[in-house]
Structure formats: C-alpha cells, structure tokens
Amino acid sequence: MVTTYLYALSSVMIVSLVSLVGVFALSIKEELLRKYIFVFISLAVGALLGDAFIHLIPEAFESSINSILVSILIITGVVIFFILEKFLHWHHHGEDEAAPDIHPAGRLILLSDGVHNFIDGIIIGVSFLISMPVGIATTLAVILHEIPQEIGDFAVLLHSGYSKSRALWLNFLSALCAILGTLVAFVLGQAGETFILWILPVAAGGFLYVAVADLIPELHKTKDVKHSLMQILAVIAGVLAMVALLYLE
C-alpha cells in the first residue's frame, strides 16, 4: 500500500508541474505577449467550454442516476462563481488606489482551476487504489487534458494584470491542489468516487461562468475583423483539443 501511495503522489506531482508550461512565455517580450494575448484568451474560452460540455458534464450525468440533481449542481456552480465575482468586485473597489489593479477574472480562474485540479487529484488517487495500471493510465489522461487548459489559464492571468512570473507561480500553486485531492482520496478510499459525483458538476458550472461571463465579453472588445477571425479560430481550436482528448484518454 505504501508503494501505491508513493506512485500516486509522484504522478500527481508530475501533473502539477504541467502548469509550468507557461514558462515558454517568459522568453517572449512582455509587449509582444500582451499584443497577442487575445488569441490565448480565445483558446482558454474554447478549452473551458469544451472541458465543461465534452468532459465534465457528460461524466457527471453518466455517473449519476439523478439527472435533475446534476443539473441543479451545475447551476449551483454558476451561481457560486457569480456570488464570488460579486464579492471580488466589492473587494476590488474597496482596495487602496495604490494596490495592484487585478481583474476579478484572474482570481476566479485560479479558484475554478484549483477546484478542477483538486478533482483530478482525487481521480488519480482513487485510480491508484483500484490498481497500478489504472492509476498510470488515468495520470496520462489527466496530463493530456491539462496542457491546453494550463496554457489558456496562464493567458487569462496575464490578461487580468498579473506579471508573467507571478502568473506562472500562482498557476503552479493552483495546480498543487491536485496533491491535496490525492491525499483526500487516500482518506476517503473508494468513497472518494461518491464525493467526485457531487463536486464535478459544480466545477463544470464554474468553468461555464468564467468562460461566458468573464472571457467572452473581453473578446468582444476587439472589433478588428482580422483579430476577430483569429479569435474564432482559437476558440474552435480549444474545443477541438478537448474533443481530441476523448480519443487519447
């Protein structure tokens, strides 16, 4: 059993390190990076919507015998993130003028991604408790799933006002929630699967809210036809990346 725990924790640490894919951006000039950040924001929209509609929501419905409850939990996720953003806006306006001007969308993406990583950690932990091969296969699936999303998340943090280094660090801290999820899975044992059924649709609702309420309105600020076409293509690319993962998992 100790070996199983070590393999599971090692695997989830590797998954957490995937969040550092944004390190490639550190070599790009800040001005150039922010000039084309809208492309990565568009990719994030596609990845979030694709993740919610293609992965999280279908899995939640498939795993539950009560479709009404799943629907209510998805709506609950949307409402929770709506309330959280209200709170962040109130806090944002109450800050001292000298404080950094960080858009609430950045904090919301950290929270939603943290919840998602926490779920991934539980899934990996439960998978290793079933068997070693299942755990390894699940880890590979999660890694493939995380790469496009982490790039998008990094872009959202930059767009929200964080510096490149701080965005990278915060994204990594959010990814570490996966380790906490694996530890919780060890404590819960097979009951962890039941816990996932409840939190999965809530996370999906959070992803939908961030994509639709925060990111898409930002994309509408660009009126240029060329940039708009690039946005559409990037959104489609984000969705297609999530579709492709169905055949790789």
- Check residue 25 and give its pLDDT: 57
**Cα–Cα distance, 75 to 235 (Å, whole number):** 23
Contact 123, 184 (CB under 8 A): no
What does pTM read for this prediction? 0.68
**Rounded average pLDDT over 37-46:** 82
- Check residue 232 and give its pLDDT: 93
Q: How far is CA 21 from the centre of its chain?
A: 14
- For 178, list phi and psi in degrees, rounded to 5: -65, -35
Q: How far is CA 122 from the centre of its chain?
A: 15
CA distances from 110 to 4, 43, 61, 117, 163 (A): 29, 17, 25, 10, 15
Predicted confidence (pLDDT) per residue in 151-161, tens digit: 777 778 887 88
Q: What is the band of 101 on the pLDDT scale with cuts at 50, 70, 90? A: low
48 class by beta-carbon count within 10 Å (0-12 exposed, 13-18 middle, 19+ buried): buried
End-to-end CA distance of the chain: 26
- Check residue 127 and give its pLDDT: 72
